[in-house]
Structure 1
Amino acid sequence: MTAIHHFLSRASLTGVLAAAALAATPAAQAGVVVGWAFDNATTNQLTNIAASTVASGVTNASFSAPNHGVVDWHGALGNKVLLTRFFDNGATVPSMSFTLADTFDNLTLSFTTYHNHNPGFPTYQQYKYAVQINDGSGWTNLMADLIASNATRALAVDVPLTASLGPGTYSMRWIGYGYAYGTNSNTEYFALDNVTLSTATAAANTVPEPASLALVGLALAGVAALRRKRA
């Protein structure tokens, strides 16, 4: 019976230790890798707009627009957006850049767009835009043929990335095309707000929860008790 008791004690203790180790391991959780709300930028700031939120291992996070820049969208309410005029598929486009020290999986780029479509302008009644990424080897589409119209104004858009982003420097940009005439919006605006790159599996250096620490303590107490009994 003593041998059986010792065996069961070891088995139970092994299970407790395994559970404690698992509980103390950093757990994956959702989080913003990098994001911009633009409220920390100065009015009319065009370039080098620092991120509002950055995760561990993310550096050189910056946002820019070639003209107009950050504006107070709702005046006294203090909500700022990044606004671009002459929005096109060339040089006049908003863009973000950042550097990753680690690999991130299951990423989603999210943003809210504002735009106008006045009669007589090339934006009327709608046009298209795409979101592109560049890892240093050239621009490729993350999502294309998104519609900018009165029906999609103030729309929150989610663009899932099909591939992981490994360590390196990346840029993302928004380009317009498919206008009624010409190649740009001709002073009609295209604005962005709440731009975030987030993941459902990013969590660096997660601190063990109190319950996890308690479980580790229980396991260690069990080890001590077993050793005393053997002695």
Structure 2
Amino acid sequence: MSPWIRILIVLSSVAIAGCASIPPEAPELSGQLGTRITAIESSHNRLLEQFFAEKRRRVDEFVQEVWVPTFAAEFFGDQQVDAVWKQVVASNDPKDRLRFVVMVGAKLQSKINEKRIELIEPLEDLERTVKAKLKVDYDQARAINNTLTSFLQSASKVEANRKRYLEMLGITDKQVEAFIDETDEAVSDLVVKAKGAQDKANSGKAFVEKVKSIAAKIKS
């Protein structure tokens, strides 16, 4: 449970005790808490952005250090490409070699870009999903705090609202708390666990499916 939720519960408990027991500072503190919630939300979002930036960096490392060498070996191992390469090597015309390098280089770069987009897009979709979920939670927290502030200011109908306020304050989101571990595990599986050539070929697909699965769970 986050600190500001604990504070809300404390304030609610104070209110529940009755009008006579509400300290004069309580409404002001509750109003200040609303401002603090917004500041915490901004910090939370910055940490989230840093987390996903680091995951994108690790995916880029995987593409450059693991996938590209494997793909290049398969590409140049193709019989037709190998035959053309041998002809170029045997040619005495520098223009032939330049044309080959330009043509092959463009194709390789295109494939590299496609693979990067394939792996990065699910991460970016997951980041947007989590941000949207957090926004809903923080908006709800602000709404609760605003209601509680008004409640403390009016200091009325305490017992009638007791159960409803406590239920409103029971904000938990185990999915958002767990997604960090699951995303970290997915990136680690992509970067670390792929050993053989077949593992490397399949790891990208497994990574995309796992990240999409995390996003689907958060959206549900």
Structure-1-length-normalised TM-score: 0.30
Name the structure where strand makes up a greater proportion of residues. Answer: 1
> Is the radius of gyration larger for structure 1 or structure 2?
2
Larger RCO: 1 or 2 (CA < 8 Å, sep 6+): 2
Name the structure where helix makes up a greater proportion of residues. Answer: 2
Structure-2-length-normalised TM-score: 0.31
